[in-house]
Amino acid sequence: MMMGAPTSAEAEPSSDKQVKVLIVGAGAGGIMALARLRRGLPNAQFTIIAPNEVHLYQPGQVFLAAGLEKHEDLIKPNSDFIDEEVNWIKDEVASFDPDNNKVVTRNGEEVHYDYMVVATGIVYHYDWIEGLSESDIGTNGISSVYLSDLEKGTTRGAEVTWEWFKALKEAAKKGEKPTAIYTQPATPIKCGGAPQKILYLSADYLKEEGLEANYIFATNGSKLFSLPSIEKTLAETQKSYDTITNKFKHNLVAIDVKNKVATFEETYQIKGEYDEDLQEYDMITKKRKVDMKYDFIHVVPPMSPPKAVVESKLGWQKGSAKGWLEVDMYTLQHRRYPNVFGIGDVMGIPKGKTGGSARHHGPIVAENLIRVVEGEKPTAKFDGYTVCPLKTDYGHIVMAEFNYDGLAPTIPFLDPATPRWMWWAFDLYMLKPMYWYLMMRGLM
Neighbouring-strand partners of residue 214: 179
b/e code 223-261 from CB counts within 10 Å (16+ = b):
ebbebeebeebbeebbeebeebebbebbbbbbbebeebe
Eight-state DSSP code of residue 100 = G
Residue 86 CB burial class (10 angstroms; 0-12, 13-18, ≥19)? middle
| Active site residue ranges | 191, 388
Say how far apart CA 335 and CA 342 lie, in whole Å.
11
Which residues partner with 184 through β-bridges? 219
SS3 label, residue 390:
strand
Nearest Cα to Cα of residue 119 among 220, 3, 34, 18: 34
Contacts of 381 by beta carbon, 8 Å cutoff, 6+ apart:
8, 330, 331, 364
Nearest to 201 by CA among 390, 373, 38, 363: 390
Query: In this structure, how many other beta carbons lie within 10 angstroms of the beta carbon of residue 278?
Result: 8
Residues listed for the chain: 444
List the one residue out of 367, 372, 364, 330 whose CA is nearest residue 349. 330
The residues facing 256 across adjacent strands are: 261
Amino acid present at 171:
A
Strand stretches in 334-418, DSSP E: 340-342, 386-393, 396-403, 406-407
Pair type for strands 244-247 and 214-219:
parallel
**Whole-number Cα distances in Å, 11 to 14, 139, 141, 385:** 9, 51, 51, 19
Q: Residue 164 carries which side chain, given as an amino acid letter?
A: W
| Number of helices followed by number of strands (H, E) in the chain | 9, 23
Whole-number Cα distances in Å, 94 to 24, 47, 114, 309? 11, 16, 19, 9
**CA–CA separation, 284 and 281 (whole Å):** 9
CA distance 86 to 164: 42
